[in-house]
Amino acid sequence: MPIKTLWTTERLKRLCDHYNRKYWRRQLRYRVVIEKISENFMSCISFYEKKNSVDPAKHASDRELRATLLHEMAHEAARGKGHGVKFFAQVERLLRRGAPIAVSYAEAGAEARIYANLVPPQFPLPDRFFSFLTSQRNGSTPPLVS
């Protein structure tokens, strides 16, 4: 069973501060808060309010929540919405540093139907994860890292 503990705003803030120090040299200036989020989202970022909202109740484990927090912080660092080149540059950087960020179909966006060539070619690590996920979906599972 996945580990899931009680998340408080203070605990989430400490984790966010830790990641900000470790991966961005304290350059990110967004506050993190616990909020109940409607629809299918587990978190969201408000660029206008400089706020990162996370709903711990929608996460199956602490690991999943940490991955979500890093995902949102990657958006902050990329200074833009969506999963474009700047976002994938941040994900690539985090993966290379061994950060506990996850790459999943969520990064493809709700309308995406074809996942091939979704990640720009200059970011091989997220691209490998998408290739792996796509192959799992198609019934074959090549090694994740070659």
78, part of any domain: yes
Domain holding 65, by residue range, is 9-137
What CATH number is attached to the domain comprising 128? 3.30.2010.10
Number of residues that this document lists for the chain: 146
Q: How far apart are CA 35 and CA 56, in angstroms?
A: 8
Residue range 39-95, pLDDT digits in tens = 767 788 888 888 999 999 988 899 999 999 999 999 999 987 777 888 888 988 998
pLDDT band at 124 (very low <50, low <70, confident <90, very high): confident
1, part of any domain: no
| pLDDT over 70, % of the chain | 75
Q: What average pLDDT score do residues 111-115 get? A: 41
Structure-model confidence comparison of residues 9 and 135, the more confident one: 9
pTM of the model: 0.73
Number of domains within the chain: 1
Which amino acid, 143? P
Burial class (CB in 10 A: 0-12, 13-18, 19+), 71: buried
Is the predicted pLDDT of residue 114 greater than 50, yes or no? no
